[in-house]
Amino acid sequence: MSNNLYPITYWYGIRKEFLSRERLEEAREAGFNLIECAYDTETNLRVLALCAELGLRANVQDPRMSIALLGEPGWEAELDAMIADYRDCPALNRFFVRDEPTDDYFPTLGRVVDYLHAHDPVHGEYINLLPSVAVMPLERYQAHIDGFLRTVHPQLLSYDHYNLMWREVPALDKLPAARVSDENRKRNGWEGKLFEAYDRAGYYDNMEMIRASAARAGIPWMTIILLVEHWGYRWPTEGEVRWEAFNALTYGSTGLSYFTYWTPGANHSEPWSYHNGIILSDGTRGEKYEIVKRINRELQVLYRGLVDPLPGESVAPGDIRSEAVFHVGAETDETVKPFAGYKHIRALDGGRFTVGFFAGGRMMVTSKDYDAPQTLCITSDTPLVRLNKATGVWEDCAGTVTFAPGDGELFAVKPL
């Protein structure tokens, strides 16, 4: 993707029977600039042509990739034909290869990815890895990542980790109530049941490991965040979605994907029934459409703040270059680093925050409280400015900043 935009995409896109220019414009309006193109070849080409007209890019999932992965006779010719069909499409970003592979599948992926790189060096591959909770303990997960990088030679490291969970309890007492929709309760016979909201451990450990592994490999990384209510995952609030999105940017993610855009059909049986995606299964906009639209707009403003020069700054970072990540306040994940001062920032006091330092004296901070506002007090050796996400203007920062639930803010050293 061009470095003019922060890549924002999704899983489970526009259903084929709803496909139209207007639907792609609707996705663009919500702040998506990278479209999932997972249809038959003819439809994929039609969507790519529309994307080019609308200034969108697309990751393509083509049926011939399955033949290559199976290693059937003539698989090389199938990939050659696939590449020839798409390679001149200006909207083409990457070829989808596989989601959540296990270790034993890496040699197959390496064979296919090496072939793609050799025969189309312009367009990379897209493979999404399992979360750490599926490959425990953490030492084994690190070996999983290392094996993937060593065997597959990817150009991008992507993973998913959904931790916003619910569990049934006999009484809530003072426990936080999980947000479970009436539709979900009715479909599964859960009327009257009580559900506690809890966050599965390991979320930050997973992000720490992916970030560090990508840095060692010299490749970008991205993550997929939870949006749709399904299985044991609760219906996220706006604060929770903000917490997911801004944490990713704080850690230096070079792209973001939402699970899901379109709500998978209403015929899913328990427990995998899906509810309340960005677009509902009947094609109408869900509650999250406007929320995601706001968040995506703010992500682009923050991204520009990370890569563009400040007023009076002669040299810009040019891209996202994460230097360090710390945590303020208590955290149970074992691999995170507590903040104890970094460069010009001597102290950060308040509640619970993640803090990412970037090239050019930038500091991205995300509130880890997605339910209530928090105030952060910053002690700095140099004057700071804060980027106004609504206007895109850098403003003087007094040192005490209040964060909305789950929100992220970008700071920088004030140019002399």
- How do residues 139-152 score in pLDDT, each as one tens digit? 999 999 999 999 99
Looking at residues 52-77, what average pLDDT do you find? Answer: 97
pLDDT of residue 373: 98
Local structure of 301: helix, strand or coil: helix
Tell me the DSSP string of 62-98.
-THHHHHHHT-TTHHHHHHHHHHHHTT-TTEEEEEEE
Is residue 87 situated within a structural domain?
Answer: yes
pLDDT of residue 45: 99
Amino acid at 98: R
Asked which of 67-81, 304-318, 321-335, 342-356 is least confident by mean pLDDT, the reply is 304-318
Looking at residues 299-309, what average pLDDT do you find? Answer: 96
pLDDT of residue 416: 74
248 in the same domain as 202: yes
Q: Residue 1: pLDDT above 80? A: no
Q: What is the CATH number of the domain that holds 397?
A: 2.60.40
Round the average pLDDT of the chain to a whole number and report it: 96
Q: Residue 3: pLDDT above 60? A: no
First to last CA, the chain: 33
Contacts of 294 by beta carbon, 8 Å cutoff, 6+ apart: none
- Asked whether the CA dihedral 326, 328, 332, 337 is positive or negative, the reply is positive
Answer yes or no: are the C-beta atoms of 41 and 51 closer than 8 Å. Answer: no
177-235 pLDDT per residue, tens: 999 999 989 888 899 999 999 999 999 999 999 999 999 999 999 999 999 999 999 99
265-281 pLDDT per residue, tens: 766 554 578 999 999 99
Number of other CB atoms surrounding residue 56 within 10 Å? 21
Contacts of 346 by beta carbon, 8 Å cutoff, 6+ apart: 379, 380, 381
- Which of 253, 275, 307 marks a domain boundary? 307
Q: Residue 27: pLDDT above 90? A: yes
- Which of 258, 279, 307 marks a domain boundary? 307
Answer yes or no: are the C-beta atoms of 366 and 243 closer than 8 Å. Answer: yes
Is residue 316 situated within a structural domain?
Answer: no
369 in the same domain as 276: no
13-23 pLDDT per residue, tens: 999 999 999 99
Looking at residues 124-147, what average pLDDT do you find? Answer: 98
3-state helix, strand, coil in the chain (%, to 5): 35, 25, 40
Please state, in angstroms and rounded to a whole number, the distance separating the CA atoms of residues 196 and 169: 6
pLDDT of residue 187: 86
295 in the same domain as 331: no
- Which of 307, 330, 350 marks a domain boundary? 307
pLDDT of residue 340: 97
- Asked whether the CA dihedral 296, 302, 303, 308 is positive or negative, the reply is positive
Q: Residue 391: pLDDT above 60? A: yes
- What is the reported pTM? 0.96
Write out the E strands in 317-393. 322-328, 345-349, 353-358, 362-367, 374-380, 384-387
- Better-predicted residue by pLDDT, 270 or 115: 115
pLDDT of residue 2: 52
Torsion, Cα 106 119 3 126, to 10 degrees, reads: -30
Is residue 365 situated within a structural domain?
Answer: yes
292 in the same domain as 408: no
290 in the same domain as 149: yes
Please state, in angstroms and rounded to a whole number, the distance separating the CA atoms of residues 205 and 185: 32
364 in the same domain as 278: no
Is residue 203 situated within a structural domain?
Answer: yes
Local structure of 212: helix, strand or coil: helix
Residues facing 11 on adjacent strands: 259
Is residue 1 situated within a structural domain?
Answer: no
Structure tokens at 284: 């109408």
Is residue 286 situated within a structural domain?
Answer: yes
Q: What is the CATH number of the domain that holds 125?
A: 3.20.20.80
Please state, in angstroms and rounded to a whole number, the distance separating the CA atoms of residues 43 and 56: 16
Torsion, Cα 47 52 54 57, to 10 degrees, reads: 80
153 in the same domain as 282: yes
342 in the same domain as 223: no
Amino acid at 133: V
pLDDT of residue 64: 97
The whole domain housing 344 covers 322-413
pLDDT of residue 283: 96
Is residue 315 situated within a structural domain?
Answer: no
Please state, in angstroms and rounded to a whole number, the distance separating the CA atoms of residues 288 and 53: 27
Contacts of 212 by beta carbon, 8 Å cutoff, 6+ apart: none
pLDDT of residue 243: 99
352 in the same domain as 281: no
Is residue 96 situated within a structural domain?
Answer: yes
298 in the same domain as 352: no
206 in the same domain as 106: yes
Please state, in angstroms and rounded to a whole number, the distance separating the CA atoms of residues 392 and 390: 6
Please state, in angstroms and rounded to a whole number, the distance separating the CA atoms of residues 220 and 41: 28
The total of structural domains in the chain comes to 2
Between the alpha carbon of residue 220 and those of residues 43, 96, 150, the distances in Å are: 30, 16, 16
Q: Residue 249 belongs to what H/E stretch? A: helix 238-250
382 in the same domain as 354: yes
